[in-house]
Structure formats: C-alpha cells, structure tokens
Amino acid sequence: MPSSSRHTSHVPAGLMWFRRDLRAYDNAALYHALKSCRQVHCVFVFDRAILDSLPRLDRRVEFIRESLVTLDAELRAVAGDAKAGLIVRHAVAADEVPQLAQALGVQEVFANHDDEPDALVRDAKVRGALADKGIGFQTYKDHVIFERSEVLTQMGKPYGVFTPYKNAWLQKVNDFYLRSYPVGKYVKALAPRPKAYQVPVPTLAELGFEPTNLSSLHVPTGSPGGLALFEDFFDRMDRYDETRNFPAVKGPSYLGVHLRFGTVSIRQLASTGYQRMLAGSKGAEVWLSELIWRDFYHQILHHHPRVVNASFKPEYDAIKWEHNKHAKDLFAAWCEGRTGYPLVDAAMAQINQTGYMHNRLRMVVASFLVKDLGIDWRWGERYFAQHLNDFDLAANNGGWQWASSSGCDAQPYFRIFNPISQSEKFDPEGKFIRRYVPALAKLSTAAIHAPWLAKPMELQAAGFQLGKDYPAPIVDHAEARALTLQRYAVVKKEK
C-alpha cells in the first residue's frame, strides 16, 4: 500500500523514480504510476551522495549502469516509442528529483520503499521539497514480501527470533501477497522523453568510474540476466538443501545482486519457491527460508535502526575487542587472505577477486574474524559493505551480528566455527581452496586443509615451503577459542 493516504486517479502526468527496482515488469510503483497517470516519465539518478564516496572501481556501479541500458531499451520497446525510455541523471537525488518533477510538470512522483536509514532521510527531504511545489510523493512495497509491521507477534510486537517469524510468515502468505503486478496492461501511459532528455545512459567514464572485471566474471546484468539465472537455478532448486553448503558445487541461485538491485521480482521468486515447497520439494523449502530471512532482517532494521551501529543485544556492546596495531595487522591479513587458514583465505580471495562470497563461507570468515582474531564485527561488516556486489545493509548487518552472537536469533557465543573442520566438511577435496589459493594446489587432499599439520616430508615432496609459499597460521585456533570465551564472559555477567 502507498505510504501516503492521498489517492490518485487519472493524474495528468507522473514521474516514476527507479531506485533498487531496475525492471519494467512486476514493479509495484511502476504499475501504480502507469495505472494512475495519463502520462508517466521514468527516471534513475546516479546519486552523488552515494557515488562520490565510492572507489573508482566498483562492480556495483557497473552492474547498475549495464542494467539501466537494458531497462531503458525495455521501456522503449514496451512503449513502442523510441523517444520513450529512461531519463538518467548524475546528481544529488534529494535535489534532482524535485527539480526534475517540476521541470517535467508532473503532479505525482512514484517510487518503491527503501527502508535503509540514509534512504529514509533522503526520501523525507524529497517529500518535503515536492510538497513545497504542490507535487505528491507515493511510495510502495516492492523489495520484500512482508515489510515493516506486516508480520507481528500476537502481542503486536516485532519478532526478534527467526523461527516464530518464519512460521507467522508462512501462515500469512497467500496468492494476494505473491501475485505479480500486471504492468504490461498500462504501458501505453509511458511518455516520450522531452528532447533535452533523449540522451543515452551515461558511460562509466562519464560517471567518473573505470571498468571492472564484471564482464569477464560473466555476471549477467539487467532483468534478462536475472531471469536467466533464475531459470538455471529452477532445475537445481529441488537439490538446494543438499548442495547449498559446498562452495565448489554449483548450489546457490547467485541471485543476490539481482535481488539487491531489483532486476528480479521477489514475488516471482518467492511464489515459485512456495509452490515447489507445497509440492514437496525440500530444496525449495530451504531456499524459501533464505528469502524469509531476508524479510526478517529488513523488519529488524525497520523496528531497530540502532543495529546499524550497535548490537541488537545491548549487553554485547560491553565486549572489549582488540583494537591496537596488532589488531590492525590481523585485520589486514584477514582482508588480504593471508591468515594461514586455507578455507578462510580462499573465501577472502573469492570476494576480493569477484565481489561474491559463498554463503557458508560468509559465516566461516565472519566467525574467524570475530572469534579467532577478536576483532569487532563492525570492521568485517564494513569490509563486506565495500566489496560485496550484493551488499544489502539489513542482511549484511544481520549476518554479521548472527556470527558475532550479538544479533537476534544469533549463533550462541560459545559455538565457534573451527576453520579446519569446516574446510574438511564443506570443501572435502580442496577444490575450492585450489581454485582461489593456487599456492596450495599441489598439496594432497589430506594436507590442504591445514598445511602446518602435514608431515614435513609430504610438504617437501609437493615442493611446498610453509612460511614462504603460504603463511603459517596467524593464530592458534584452540588458544583463540579460549580467549574468546574469556572475552564473551562479560556478556554472562551482564545478564
């Protein structure tokens, strides 16, 4: 439902503001704009408030740019008019959107909700500026199935534990919430762009960015890319429960970046997963559960915005983390994949080289940073925020707080991932490690998970020298575990 109570009907002209919803099908705000207005202009703003602080090489900016080229073409195709399409601006969105709305002479601006704290501040500013010009601002739910306060306990409070939330989610969900918006019925309302705005999507260079390795990684962009990945995953969905934990196996959907930027519809994904689950697919049930986690973390962020900087469980903010020069050196070794723990280093090589990290490995490296190195989870959260193609504030924050035991429904503080047994269990043949840490490729399967425990003769036979070809471990896991239990003892005292 719109966040404004004002209802629109046959508005002469509207502006659809795309943000994290870069598709021309099953898009809530686009549907309502087209249905309500006789003419609809479409805009995307490369927001300087965000872009100016990014490194000049950023795969996400390239992903968005390529996806906008596709969206622009899709809008022109469905409108049947080469002059239609997307107006793309490079400016501060909070200033640009009201100015553009006035210049185009629209009466309403339409957008989908973005509940991140900075986005809410931006949208409040836009709403005020538009109101000053007599222009309405309508926003809609599009990024999740259930948001904000749609799933509450019987006491009317937000859930803080996932399983009861999931049960309530599954009880509430039905065709109404999973139904797609029939955008195609109303595309005749798409307006031709005024001549001044009939310009192509800016190049990366025009935005001040450089090309990344996105194309060589074969990351498909735009809604066709998202749909192709989803079709590919559909054939594997039934086995997801068996394959999802093994990084060397093609188990995941790889749709994270598409969910992040809305080049797929969450309703289409959840509906398919739900129907497959009802048909008895265990894999689909587990995958749907991952989508429900996403909704869960978004409602946590909505009800508890303080989690952006603080622990969900306040007592965990009493923990004293390592913070001296030694801590910074340990953190640098973690970032650069030279901890001496092969699975951890392979995972960090994966994120550094591709902007993607397998979900099981996100848990392993987070546990290692926090509970083996004693470093504040916020350091790791920031690193992921800078490097993940699919970085999403709610999910990233929730995942890091889960790993550090400070979040809702968290891993108990005394449960600490062992990086060696995780490696032996989930990369048993060392295939993933060999791919991302080629220095270890010659080692036997027995030795590759913990080279420092291998017999010297075996290392010599492989032409491998520990400390030269690959670092020795920067911490002893057993000792680190004991220190962590001491560090977390403060939590027990506070309870």
Residues 286 and 391 in one domain: no
Phi, then psi, of 381 in degrees rounded to 5: -60, -45
Output the tens digit of pLDDT for each of the chain's 495 residues.
Answer: 444 434 445 899 999 999 999 999 999 999 999 999 999 999 999 999 999 999 999 999 999 999 999 999 999 999 999 999 999 999 999 999 999 999 999 999 999 999 999 999 999 999 999 999 999 999 999 999 999 999 999 999 999 999 999 999 999 999 999 999 999 999 999 999 999 999 999 999 999 999 999 999 999 999 999 999 999 999 999 999 999 999 999 999 999 999 999 999 999 999 999 999 999 999 999 999 999 999 999 999 999 999 999 999 999 999 999 999 999 999 999 999 999 999 999 999 999 999 999 999 999 999 999 999 999 999 999 999 999 999 999 999 999 999 999 998 767 888 899 999 999 999 999 999 999 999 999 999 999 999 999 999 999 999 999 999 999 999 999 999 999 999 999 887 654
Q: pLDDT digit string (tens) for 182-208? A: 999 999 999 999 999 999 999 999 999
Residues 282 and 320 in one domain: no
The answer to whether 139 and 4 are in contact (CB under 8 A) is: yes
User: Does 215 reside within a domain?
Assistant: no
Residues 296 and 437 in one domain: no
- Rounded Cα gap, residues 158 and 165, in angstroms: 9
Show Cβ contacts of residue 14 under 8 Å, excluding neighbours closer than 6 positions: 8, 33, 36, 37, 39, 40, 41, 106, 107, 108, 109, 110
Q: What does the pLDDT read at residue 9?
A: 53
User: Does 21 reside within a domain?
Assistant: yes
Residue of 359, 418, 424, 452 marked catalytic: 359
Instruction: Select from 350, 360, 352, 371 the least CA-distant residue to 433.
Output: 350
Residues 343 and 455 in one domain: yes
Q: pLDDT digit string (tens) for 26-63? A: 999 999 999 999 999 999 999 999 999 999 999 999 99
Q: What does the pLDDT read at residue 8?
A: 45
Assess whether 169 carries a catalytic annotation: no
User: Does 277 reside within a domain?
Assistant: yes
User: Does 397 reside within a domain?
Assistant: yes
Residue 15 CB-density burial (10 A; 0-12 exposed, 13-18 middle, 19+ buried): buried
Q: What is the CATH number of the domain that holds 69?
A: 3.40.50.620
Q: What does the pLDDT read at residue 491?
A: 86
Q: Which residues pair with 16 in a beta bridge?
A: 42, 110
Number of domains in the chain: 3
Residue of 169, 287, 293, 334 marked catalytic: 293
Q: What is the CATH number of the domain that holds 388?
A: 1.10.579.10
- Rounded Cα gap, residues 90 and 156, in angstroms: 42
Residues 133 and 168 in one domain: no
Assess whether 452 carries a catalytic annotation: no
Residues 56 and 109 in one domain: yes
User: Does 22 reside within a domain?
Assistant: yes
Which residues constitute the domain of residue 85? 1-142
The answer to whether 21 and 143 are in contact (CB under 8 A) is: yes
Q: How far is CA 292 from CA 159, 164, 332, 408, in A?
A: 13, 11, 34, 15
Assess whether 290 carries a catalytic annotation: yes
Residues 338 and 483 in one domain: yes
CA 143 from chain centre, in angstroms, equals 11
Residue that finishes a domain, picked among 277, 303, 329: 303
Going across the sheet that includes 136-140, the strands are 86-91, 37-47, 11-18, 108-112, 136-140
Residue of 17, 287, 334, 377 marked catalytic: 377
Residues 16 and 101 in one domain: yes
- Rounded Cα gap, residues 236 and 373, in angstroms: 37
Which two structure tokens, joined as six digits, stand for 429? 């043949």
Residues 170 and 285 in one domain: yes
Q: What is the CATH number of the domain that holds 176?
A: 1.25.40.80
Type and span of the H or E element at 289: helix 282-303
Residues 291 and 346 in one domain: no
Q: What does the pLDDT read at residue 413?
A: 81
Residue that finishes a domain, picked among 142, 159, 190: 142
Q: What does the pLDDT read at residue 494?
A: 53
Residue of 150, 315, 321, 418 marked catalytic: 321
Residues 450 and 325 in one domain: yes
Residue that finishes a domain, picked among 303, 338, 353: 303
| Amino acid at position 440, single letter | L
Residues 350 and 467 in one domain: yes
User: Does 394 reside within a domain?
Assistant: yes
How would you label 60-89 residue by residue, b for 16+ Cβ within 10 Å and e otherwise? bbbbbbbbbbbbbbbbbebbebeebbbbbb
- Rounded Cα gap, residues 269 and 290, in angstroms: 11
User: Does 29 reside within a domain?
Assistant: yes
Assess whether 379 carries a catalytic annotation: no
- Rounded Cα gap, residues 284 and 291, in angstroms: 11
Residue of 290, 315, 322, 424 marked catalytic: 290
User: Does 403 reside within a domain?
Assistant: yes
Task: Tally Cβ neighbours within 10 Å of residue 116.
Answer: 18
Residue of 17, 334, 379, 400 marked catalytic: 400
Instruction: Select from 55, 141, 58, 125 the least CA-distant residue to 92.
Output: 125
Q: What does the pLDDT read at residue 4?
A: 43
